[in-house]
Amino acid sequence: MDLLSKINWAGIAVSAGVIFLKLIGIFIAYFLIRLAGNAFIQKTFERVQKRKDVTAGRAKTLESLALNVFGYILIFIFVVMVFQVFHYDATAILAGAGVVGLAIGFGAQGLVSDVVTGFFLLLEKQIDVGDYVTLGSFDGVVEQVGLRTTQLRGFDGTLHYIPNREITNVSNHSRGNMRALVDIGISYNDNIDEAISVLQDVCDQIAKENPVIVEGPNVVGVQTLGESDVVIRVIGKTLNGEQYGIERLLRKAIKEAFDVHGIEIPFPHQVTIEKREA
């Protein structure tokens, strides 16, 4: 091997080593910047949560979005820098990406629809992280709201990834006070006025003992006349998410009060008639 060939191989080796070191440096810088950026965003939104005009759920939602956007931007910069290490023109890459993006744009309409829908979900504050919502056929608690998908944790523990374009109806159960409703049946032989009086006493006692109750509960009156019972309705308002606990307390207290006052709660009876042969 002549001297010129040795010099060429040495130059190639040096160039490869320089490229390798640059790539290592870019990778290290990428991970350090990502760690620092994520920590900065998280600390920023921790301070935002302390503001009275921003709810914790809203702050978590915006934090998740900011982390996603920061990650996408960082990856884009990382890819451009890697191409530049190999002496590719970044301007040409961006122009080519624009042409390719235009070519596949018609095939990516679903992705565009996801992003647009996700943007309006965030802009209109329809849902926040931690909200109990119904999205189509799924019920659960929102864990993350992104520009492409929304993550919903079902009550059985399943994590649903719902494309934003499929969210056509949103029912948010976590906004404002909620209604606690209890229907209780009494026998036709019992005095309705006495039962209503007992029910109201129970309601007043529950209201005194539970600060989560915002209004009532009060006895509305006779709701329906069933086949074997007279149904009386009780309604109250509670803080969000507390209505189910209050309903359970009311049912327990009503049953105990009815037992004390001898008021019957009807239940189905089965009568068996034996036929005897003569």
Q: Where are the domains of the chain?
A: 3-88, 178-261
pLDDT tens for each residue of 166-225: 888 888 887 777 888 889 899 988 899 999 999 999 999 999 988 888 888 999 888 888
pLDDT tens for each residue of 131-149: 888 888 888 888 887 777 8
Which pLDDT score is estimated for 103? Answer: 46
Least confident of 101-105, 123-127, 240-244: 101-105
Q: What is the mean pLDDT of residues 104-129?
A: 67
How far apart (Å, rounded) are the C-alpha atoms in residues 179 and 173? Answer: 11
Least confident of 3-12, 15-24, 228-237: 3-12
How far apart (Å, rounded) are the C-alpha atoms in residues 155 and 244? Answer: 15
Domain 178-261 coded CATH 3.30.70.100? yes
In degrees, rounded to 5, the angle at the alpha carbon of residue 78 between the alpha carbons of residues 76 and 83 is: 100
How far apart (Å, rounded) are the C-alpha atoms in residues 96 and 89? Answer: 11
Average pLDDT, the chain: 78
pLDDT tens for each residue of 235-264: 998 888 788 888 999 999 999 999 999 988
% pLDDT > 90, the chain: 12
Residues 6+ apart with CB under 8 A from 120: 126
How far apart (Å, rounded) are the C-alpha atoms in residues 117 and 111? Answer: 10
Q: Is 129 helix (H, G, I), strand (E, B) or coil?
A: coil
